[in-house]
A and B are shown apart, each in its own frame.
Chain A
Amino acid sequence: MSILTVEHISKSFGTIQAIDNVSFEINQGDIVGFLGKNGAGKTTLMRMITSFLTASSGKIFIDGDDITKHSLVIRQKIGYLPETPPLYPDMTVYQYLTFSAEIKGVSSKKQAVQIAKVLEECGLEHVKLKTISTLSKGYKQRVGIAQAIIHEPKLLILDEPTSGLDPIQIQQVLALINNQREQRTVLMSTHTLPEIEKIAQRIIMIKSGQLVIDQPLDTLLNSQSTPSSLEQIFFDYHQDKTPTQNVSCYS
């Protein structure tokens, strides 16, 4: 069943066409790698899905609801981590998660249980009383993910969650994302291609605002004439070696 449907979405900023007629569907339970160069339009599209930006044309449905008509209900179903974790440096981890739970409508009865659950899930129990400003970048990223899942959203949207992390922190964050597989659908943009290859079932790639790949990862890797990695496919598309589009699932 489709949790996210993007239908012919376009977005322009003045004369700049940031997103150009993009359509795709994401099924429940998938981890989807959302790829593209810097400036390709990944963040713009994610911001439209989270209803932070409105589309110039087209429609987005989450769990069957049109986001322009049921914005509040839909935001309850989405967990979102922007590229820079949205943290309040003067709060402790616990205070921040309490605040996140309150504004995301977690009932006061469930708050303590839910906070304990995400602290454990994200490996934050031993830093819960620390002020956020004193945490390392890896921990800050985990706190960002914790706020995104505190209300148990159906769809988790992560904008470059491994950006700026060291290899060990990348492994930890990806393991955390991989653990979400059973509970929710994940759409994540990233540049760490070898790593996303290990956890994603599906790849969506955009180039200059246009969809160029929308395929299951296995199909994409096997469709190449020679055995290839995701990294190689990414380079090929951006060096214009293989201009043929691999958009198979949605039109």
Chain B
Amino acid sequence: MNKVFALTKKELHSYFSSPIAYIILIATLSLFNVLFFMIIDQNREVSLRDIFQVMEFMFIFIIPLLTMKLFAEEKANGTMEFLLTSPLTPTMIVLGKYLSMLIFYSLLIGLTGAYYFIVEYFGEPDPYSILSGYVGIWLEGALFIAIGLLTSSWTRNQIIAAMTSYLLLFFLYFSITFTKYFTGFTENFLIQVSTRTHLDNFATGIITTSDVTYYLTGILLCLVLTRLSIDHKLWQ
């Protein structure tokens, strides 16, 4: 595990030693704050349900910007050869990088925790539905990061990595809107594969096994595919 943590530390250092991490943190939180106050002002509800849905949509655009460099930059700089000829397994490399992004994302989500205290000041929010909403948005971000990690493992070009992530995330987000054109298996598939189907439950305070399984399976699948991509050097 020490080697995994060394990789995690290296990744976090690379983000925080440049302005990227700070710009993304400040810009994202500023945007969330504005939207939070707009939603609260308009709805007059002591709930974070709508802000979770806004966060979900915003993360589709933000997370690929964070994940695009994870592998693409290593390949472009020639450091991927350094990692793959060091006594590290591809699994260690994938986990180290994934963990670093998860920590960064958790920090970003954690900083929005103040919203709970703000709505509590104005009324009596249901703490369990807010907690389950945070669990949902955290799992959703964890899935988005795993997808970003996978697309970054396919190419040495960061722009291509980000664009491919956008394609996959748009599909997962918008698939539910196309259900009216389909019936039967396809309709059911589009409903089940959509992130909106699963986050809605969390945002309303319901944590179901099927929703948790959806996110965990998606994360695991992406990590396994990333490992295979690294192992077989698919970008070459």
Which residues of A are in contact with B by a Cβ distance under 8 Å? 47, 50-52, 72-73, 75-76, 78, 80, 82, 84-91, 95, 99-100, 102-105, 108, 147
Residues A52 and B87 in contact in the complex (CB < 8 Å), given A88-B14, A88-B79, A90-B17: no
- Chain A residues in 8 Å Cβ range of B208: none
CA distance A88 to B78 in the complex (A): 10
Q: Is the CB of B78 within 8 A of A82?
A: yes
20 contacts between A and B (CB under 8 A): A51-B85, A72-B87, A75-B87, A78-B85, A82-B78, A86-B78, A87-B77, A87-B79, A88-B14, A88-B79, A90-B13, A90-B18, A102-B2, A102-B3, A103-B6, A103-B83, A103-B86, A103-B88, A104-B87, A105-B3
B66-118 residues at the A interface, CB under 8 angstroms: 77-79, 81-89
Identify B85's interface contact among A80, A91, A99, A102, CB under 8 A. Answer: A80
B44 within 8 A of A: no
Minimal Cβ-Cβ distance residue in A for B16: A90
- Chain A residues in 8 Å Cβ range of B18: 90
Residues A75 and B86 in contact in the complex (CB < 8 Å), given A84-B78, A88-B14, A95-B13: yes
Inter-chain pairs besides A80-B82, A104-B87, 9 sampled, C-beta below 8 Å: A73-B87, A82-B82, A88-B77, A88-B79, A95-B13, A99-B9, A100-B86, A102-B6, A103-B3
For the complex formed, measure the closest distance between the CB of A100 and the CB atoms of chain B, giving whole angstroms: 8
Identify A75's interface contact among B6, B10, B78, B85, CB under 8 A. Answer: B85
B7 within 8 A of A: yes
- Chain B residues in 8 Å Cβ range of A90: 13-14, 17-18
Q: Is the CB of A91 within 8 A of B89?
A: no
- Chain A residues in 8 Å Cβ range of B14: 88, 90-91
For the complex formed, measure the closest distance between the CB of A163 and the CB atoms of chain B, giving whole angstroms: 13
CA distance A72 to B86 in the complex (A): 8
- Chain B residues in 8 Å Cβ range of A75: 85-87
